[in-house]
């Protein structure tokens, strides 16, 4: 049970809480009543405000709508006035721009193009809105006049500022391929930069607004003329330079060189002066062609006169192998080769210029037209060279044909650049160079074959044979011609390969061409050998015939050995060198047999046998006298005759003399020792005219007219 005190306290506590709750409830009731009163008041206020807003809206909305209409009307008026001003401005375009159009675009292209833009817009407006308006005709006429003035300005700028490229600059441009520094320095400025920008703007306007392509014809005609004149100027430069100094020069550009400017000779594309160099070499060192050491023997007396004279004739011989090989021919060849290189470089430069001025879809066609005159000129000149070579072959003038070799080599070397430059041009344009190359290969192969036939069929004319048995001009000419081919091995081999039915123009290899060239050289040498054998029969004296063949064979062998010809020959004939040595030895032996009629008189086997101390019979004395006399007469006769013969090779000459001297001295020494003290005559000095050393000295003077 809960104690009474706790129950009483508990009750009081509950009563207190109840009282508090009643007070709280009473407060909440009073608050709700106040809130209801405030709500009623707010609703009353809002209702009043809504009523007033309704009244205001009903008053303002009509005013707003009226104001909006007024604003719209004002905007329409302003727009109408603006359109009227714009339309009226088109009617003033003709008068505003007529003076500018009449005065032309020169010196004020920007302003002029601005005026043309206004006229263009006026034309478009009248065409769309008032096609029957007289103003349309005015602005149309003004537009056409302006367009014509721009076309005229384009032509004027191109004509006035397009300059021919100087030969010196072209030569520097060409040499830039081998000199990187020079290549960086050399630049072609066909048009000044300011002029170029004007030309570009005019061309773009004419394409976009002028609807005119005639200016492209004007462009290619002007630039074509400059390109053609530049190349012709280079050719004239070669002629003038050759007439004044002999070699054209390409001076360095002074204002761009770090070092002191010096003149540099233009590289000669082909060694077409080798014949003259060989003449100089042989006249200094003899036909053995050796330099330095003990073999360098100065030419003396008739040797020098003979060699210079003979090799001079070799350069101007009747066979025409190197006839007419003068500076003018070299200049023509060099000029053409450099003009070909110049065309490539200038055409590349022209395309770069054209790409900035002519629309892209017209560039290839315009470029094709631009280069035609210069390209046709080069091709025509090339065909003229082919034609001249064809006529020269008929005359057996192979010197002219030699010009084809350096030209053809250069054309084939330049062909990749040619093809790149002519990309996109017409097929007829692209085929011009290959056609010329084919023509040159054909005529070159024809020349080579005719040359070989000419060597084989050269007639044996007695008056044309060297009286001293030295090298025949046919031999020296043939060797000189073959040595010329060394500088053009690939070209000559390709010529021969192009005529082979078993190979197409692109299928033959360099090795195949080399074998063909080797076969050809062996053919020429074989024909030459056969002809020399035939010619040697002209000589009545077999010994002179042997000396003649010896000299020619030795000349051929030495020429082969001191050049790459021997390596070429060895490609198809490994034993050629040994064969020539055998031929040379055979001719020496044949020559030595000529002395048998001298030595046979005093040979041991033909001498009479007698007992020492026994008196000789008259018959025996007579035999000894005849032997001495026969020896003396034969020795004197041979020495007199053979002294006029020639062996230009000093080494061979000394060798043959020494061998003959040894044989004769030994035979004569034995004879003299046996019969010199025998009393076969009362006048021994009449028969014993020479001592052994005297005989040797006489033989040492063989092949020497000055002795």
Residue 365 has pLDDT above 90, yes or no: yes
CB 466 within 8 A of CB 548: yes
The whole-angstrom separation of Cα 357 and Cα 203 is 6
Burial class (CB in 10 A: 0-12, 13-18, 19+), 74: exposed
Q: Which residue spans of the chain are classified as CATH 1.20.1280.170?
A: 601-701
> Which of 87-96, 352-361, 399-408, 686-695 is predicted with the least confidence, judged by mean pLDDT?
87-96
pLDDT of residue 82: 60
The radius of gyration computed from the CA coordinates of the chain, to the nearest angstrom, equals: 55
Closest CA relative to residue 317, chosen from 397, 378, 226, 224: 397
The whole-angstrom separation of Cα 466 and Cα 469 is 5
| Residue 416 CB neighbour total at 10 angstroms | 10
303-356 pLDDT tens trace: 333 333 343 333 334 344 444 444 567 788 899 999 999 999 999 999 999 999
Distances (CA, A) of 75 to 71, 79, 80, 697: 6, 6, 8, 135
CA angle 211, 216, 221 (to 5 degrees): 150
The whole-angstrom separation of Cα 577 and Cα 585 is 13
The DSSP symbol for 254 reads G
pLDDT of residue 242: 67
Average of per-residue pLDDT across 289-307: 34
Closest CA relative to residue 354, chosen from 220, 221, 222, 231: 220
pLDDT of residue 86: 56
187-217 pLDDT tens trace: 688 889 999 999 999 999 998 887 777 889 9
pLDDT of residue 125: 83
- Phi-psi domain of 542 (left: phi exceeds 0; alpha: psi -120 through 50; beta: other): alpha
Sequential DSSP letters for 444-460: HHHHHHHHHHHHHH---
186: tokens are 């050399």
8: tokens are 């009483």
pTM: 0.71
pLDDT of residue 253: 33
The DSSP symbol for 166 reads P
263 beta partners: 251
94-147 pLDDT tens trace: 777 888 888 889 888 998 888 888 888 888 888 888 777 788 888 888 888 998
pLDDT of residue 349: 92
The residue ranking higher by pLDDT, 592 or 10, is 592
The residue ranking higher by pLDDT, 693 or 287, is 693
CB 386 within 8 A of CB 239: no
249 beta partners: 265
The residue ranking higher by pLDDT, 467 or 298, is 467
pLDDT of residue 588: 95
Average of per-residue pLDDT across 551-572: 93
Phi and psi dihedrals of 469, rounded to 5? 75, 20
| Residue 480 CB neighbour total at 10 angstroms | 20
Largest Cα–Cα distance of the chain, in whole Å?
214
CA angle 687, 689, 694 (to 5 degrees): 150
CB 634 within 8 A of CB 599: no
Residue 628 has pLDDT above 60, yes or no: yes
Element (H, E) at 629: helix 618-642
470-523 pLDDT tens trace: 999 999 999 999 998 888 888 899 888 888 755 444 456 778 888 999 999 999
Residue 283 has pLDDT above 90, yes or no: no
Average of per-residue pLDDT across 555-583: 93
Query: Residue 265, SS3?
Result: strand
pLDDT of residue 462: 67
CATH fold label, 601-701: Monooxygenase (1.20.1280)
The DSSP symbol for 132 reads T
């Amino acid at each position: 049970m809960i104690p009474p005190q706790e129950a009483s306290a508990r009750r009081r506590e509950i009563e207190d809480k109840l009282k508090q709750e009643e007070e709280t409830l009473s407060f909440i009731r009073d608050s709700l009543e106040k809130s209801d009163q405030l709500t009623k008041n707010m609703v009353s206020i809002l209702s009043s405000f809504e009523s007033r807003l309704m009244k205001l809206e009903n008053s303002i909305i009509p005013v707003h709508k009226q104001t909006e209409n007024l604003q719209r009307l004002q905007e329409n008026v302003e727009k109408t006035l603006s359109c009227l001003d714009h339309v009226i401005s088109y009617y003033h375009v003709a008068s505003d721009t007529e003076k500018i159009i009449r005065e032309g675009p020169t010196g004020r292209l920007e302003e002029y193009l601005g005026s043309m833009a206004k006229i263009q817009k006026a034309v478009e407006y009248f065409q769309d809105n008032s096609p029957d308006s007289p103003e349309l005709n005015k602005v149309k006429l003004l537009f056409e006049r302006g367009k014509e003035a721009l076309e005229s300005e384009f032509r004027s700028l191109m004509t006035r500022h397009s300059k021919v490229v100087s030969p010196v600059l072209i030569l520097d441009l060409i040499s830039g391929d081998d000199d990187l520094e020079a290549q960086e320095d050399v630049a072609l400025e066909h048009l000044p930069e300011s002029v170029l920008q004007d030309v570009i703007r005019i061309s773009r306007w004419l394409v976009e607004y002028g609807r005119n392509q005639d200016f492209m014809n004007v462009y290619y005609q002007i630039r074509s003329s400059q390109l053609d004149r530049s190349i012709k100027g280079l050719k004239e430069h070669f002629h003038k330079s050759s007439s004044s100094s002999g070699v054209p020069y390409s001076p360095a550009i002074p204002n761009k060189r770090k070092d002191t400017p010096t003149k540099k000779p233009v590289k000669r594309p082909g060694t077409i002066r080798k014949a003259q160099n060989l003449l100089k070499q042989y006249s200094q060192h003899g036909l053995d062609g050796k330099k330095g050491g003990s073999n360098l023997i100065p030419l003396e007396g008739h040797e020098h006169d003979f060699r210079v004279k003979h090799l001079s004739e070799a350069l101007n011989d009747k066979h025409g192998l190197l006839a007419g090989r003068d500076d003018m021919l070299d200049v023509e060849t060099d000029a053409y080769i450099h003009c070909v290189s110049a065309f490539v470089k200038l055409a590349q430069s022209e395309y770069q210029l054209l790409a900035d001025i002519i629309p892209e879809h017209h560039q290839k066609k315009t470029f094709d037209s631009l280069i035609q005159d210069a390209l046709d000129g080069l091709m025509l000149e090339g065909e003229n060279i082919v034609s001249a070579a064809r006529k020269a072959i008929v005359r057996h003038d192979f010197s002219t044909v030699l010009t084809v070799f350096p030209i053809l080599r250069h054309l084939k070397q330049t062909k990749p650049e040619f093809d790149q430059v002519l990309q996109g041009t017409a097929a007829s344009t692209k085929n011009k160079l290959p056609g010329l190359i084919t023509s040159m290969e054909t005529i070159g192969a024809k020349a080579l074959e005719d040359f070989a036939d000419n060597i084989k069929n050269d007639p044996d004319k007695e008056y044309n044979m060297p009286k001293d048995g030295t090298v025949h001009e046919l031999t020296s000419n043939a060797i000189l011609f073959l040595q010329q081919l060394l500088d053009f091995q690939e070209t000559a081999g390709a010529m021969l390969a192009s005529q082979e039915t078993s190979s197409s123009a692109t299928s033959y290899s360099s090795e195949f061409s080399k074998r063909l060239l080797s076969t050809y050289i062996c053919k020429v040498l074989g024909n030459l050998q056969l002809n020399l054998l035939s010619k040697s029969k002209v000589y009545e004296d077999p010994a002179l015939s042997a000396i003649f063949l010896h000299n020619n064979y030795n000349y051929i062998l030495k020429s082969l050995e001191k050049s790459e010809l021997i390596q070429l020959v060895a490609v198809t004939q490994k034993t050629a060198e040994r064969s020539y040595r055998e031929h040379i030895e055979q001719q020496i032996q044949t020559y030595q047999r000529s002395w048998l009629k001298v030595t046979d008189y005093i040979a041991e086997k033909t001498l009479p046998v007698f007992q020492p101390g026994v008196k000789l019979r008259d018959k025996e004395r007579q035999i000894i006298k005849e032997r001495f006399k026969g020896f003396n007469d034969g020795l004197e006769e041979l020495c007199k005759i053979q002294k006029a013969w020639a062996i230009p090779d000093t080494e061979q000459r000394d060798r043959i003399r020494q061998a003959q001297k040894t044989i004769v001295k030994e035979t004569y020494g034995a004879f003299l020792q046996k019969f010199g003290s025998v009393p076969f005559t009362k006048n021994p000095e009449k028969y014993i005219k020479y001592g052994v050393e005297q005989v040797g000295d006489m033989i040492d003077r063989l092949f020497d007219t000055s002795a």
